Structure 1
Amino acid sequence: MTNTVQAGASAPAAGPDRIPRPSQGWYRDPETGAKLRRVTTILGQGFPKPELVFWAANLTAADAFATLPTLVSASLRPAEREAAYDWLRKGHIRKKDERGDIGSAVHDLVEAHVLGEPLPEALLHDPEMAPYLENFLQFVADWEVVFEASEMTVGNFADGWAGKLDYLFRSRLIAAALRVPADTLFIGDTKTGGELDEKGVYPEAGLQMSAYRRAEVAWLRDGSKVPMPAVHSTGIVLHLRPEGYRPHPLLCGDDVYEAFLHVQQVAEFKRVLSKSVVGEALALPATVTERAA
């Protein structure tokens, strides 16, 4: 479904404007008007990530020691103190934005390759992107990967969510490693964070892929809507870094999807019900106050 997967009888071409687009945590189906919660928003609001607290604290400490003379000098000048404090406390935001920019750029490179389109000119000549592209192409060659969809929007109207999966693919070598039929269709995702020898692939990626696997429908690039093809209950996360790559199998079967639905409930609690759980502090009735006086 490069979108090229033939997933049953496809609907007549309706134009790309029929593909739901994300906006403020939602997808809206232009055809039906239905609002579907964005999968990444559900995971962001409903899945705890305690490791991010330690990551942010470590990053702040590293920034502080790296700029210690400047911070000490700023602390002696009230006019500079607030700006230095603000810079220090937002270090994790700067780093997250930087990683997000790299991740988005890598996804653009991967998508162009999968679709057989020219690589974006700005990225093609970016020396920072070159090793990512080289390692991605090495993964494709090493594992004989054949792609069948890229950046495809999928949704589940019954459970109320939608999202955009990275790609669907087949690989006889990955299938052999997992001891499944050679023509098995896998769902894949690319992660660019961390280091190859450290954490960079986390369990929530399995939750995300389990949702996409259980999509009811998928939208092709021409805007037509087709049934989501059957994919295996193990997905592949490609951990892609400048120093190399590693393909990680992640479970994304029905049991993992059940956990995703619980995460969705927590996210919905935080979005709606949590705002009315805590009431205003109670005050003693006026008669009791007067009696006490």
Structure 2
Amino acid sequence: MPKVRTIYRGGSRFYIHPENREIVHPGVTSVIGMLPKQNFLGPWNAKMAATLAVDSIDFVADMAARDREGAIQYLSGAARRYTKVRADVGSEAHDLFERLIRGEYVGRVRSDLQPYVDHFREFLKAVNPEFVRAEDVAWSDTYGYAGSFDVWLRVWLDDAGNITPDRSGKPHLIMADWKTSKATYPDVALQLAAYQRADFVIDGETGETEPMPVFDGAAVLHITDETWAFKPVDTGDDVFAEFLRLRGTFEWDRDLSRKVIGKPLAKKAGRLVTGTQRRAR
């Protein structure tokens, strides 16, 4: 069977069904992108540009003397460049996490990635999870969405809900996500709730499908270059209901909103052209 393909339309990611290319669903993260943007982003973008200007004032002044527009673009792109660098580090760290959780040997890595590897190894020792599967696609025809999840883990908990790394507790199947951002944000609950309630899982490489299992919980592993924490995530029905509201907003934004305004029934007339003017042409 063919593997799952994705495409981008209007800045959003869509998943194409491996057996029927007519079935296309938006990605979970694109649906969650319908959330209002955080109000700190504007001031943060401005601060990044201002910081760059102050820290490299002589360089910027020289650039502006030669290419004013280029200097403006350089400063205005400060936040975008920083975000890309952080995203690249996150992607590389995710790749290393998957290799480590699968039991692969990971040798020397770049100095900026080494803390992430060290912390992930600490997590493996402290939790001793069992790897189940990773980086496959959760697919929902019932609600019309799809998305690539990070990992399924089996962890062992005692009656009080504490991790038992010796696996003496009760096994729990967990839908989990790796995060390397500055903090963990509430929208991870929407993401994991959607993955858990998909109709089935598709192998990202082979396209083979199987029903989505019932999960005992969800969690996020937050890793930075300074620390790590494994946190439970509430993915209850109220959380999933919020995701479905966003799914409706996505449909409104991408489709229905473009159809609700009709052609004018009446409008301002164009400039009058007299018969004399027409004959003079």
Is TM > 0.5 for Structure 1 vs Structure 2?
Answer: yes
CA deviation profile, 1:215-264 (whole Å, cap 9, x unmatched): 110123543211011113x4211110111201222211221111011111
Residue 27 (structure 2) aligns with: 38
Question: SS at the partner of 1:131?
Answer: helix
The 2-side partners of 1:268 and 1:223 are apart by 26
| Structure 2 alignment gaps of length 5 or more | 164-168, 275-281
Residue 43 of structure 1 deviates from its aligned partner by 1.7
Question: SS at the partner of 1:251?
Answer: coil
Percent same amino acid at aligned positions?
29
Contact 2:157 2:172 in 1 (8 A): no
Residues 63 and 278 (structure 1 numbering): CA distance in 2 closer, same or farther, change over 3 Å? farther
Contact 1:218 1:225 in 2 (8 A): yes
Question: SS at the partner of 1:42?
Answer: helix
Residue 223 (structure 1) aligns with: 207
2:139 maps to which of 143, 155, 165: 155
Larger radius of gyration: 2
Contact 1:237 1:247 in 2 (8 A): yes
CA deviation profile, 1:118-147 (whole Å, cap 9, x unmatched): 44x7xx432221111110110111122222
1:110 aligns to 2:97 (yes or no): yes
Q: Provide the aligned length of Structure 1 versus Structure 2.
A: 260
Residue 111 (structure 2) aligns with: 127
Residue 209 of structure 1 deviates from its aligned partner by 0.6
Residue 151 of structure 1 deviates from its aligned partner by 1.1
Residue 72 of structure 1 deviates from its aligned partner by 3.6
Question: SS at the partner of 2:215?
Answer: coil
Residue 273 (structure 1) aligns with: 256
| Structure 1 alignment gaps of length 5 or more | 1-13, 195-199
TM-score by length of 1: 0.79
Contact 1:193 1:241 in 2 (8 A): yes
CA deviation profile, 1:80-131 (whole Å, cap 9, x unmatched): 2111100111111111111111111011111112223344x7xx43222111
The 5-angstrom pairing of residues 159-238 of structure 1 reads 159-173=143-157, 176-177=160-161, 182-194=170-182, 200-220=183-203, 222-232=206-216, 234-238=217-221
CA deviation profile, 1:52-74 (whole Å, cap 9, x unmatched): 33332322222222122333444
The 1-side partners of 2:159 and 2:178 are apart by 18
Residue 277 of structure 1 deviates from its aligned partner by 5.4
The 5-angstrom pairing of residues 84-103 of structure 1 reads 84-103=71-90
TM-score by length of 2: 0.82
1:56 aligns to 2:55 (yes or no): no
Tell me how large the CA RMSD over aligned residues is: 2.7
Question: SS at the partner of 1:223?
Answer: coil
Name the aligned partner's letter for residue 114 of structure 1: I
Name the aligned partner's letter for residue 232 of structure 2: P
1:29 aligns to 2:17 (yes or no): yes
Residues 250 and 55 (structure 1 numbering): CA distance in 2 closer, same or farther, change over 3 Å? farther
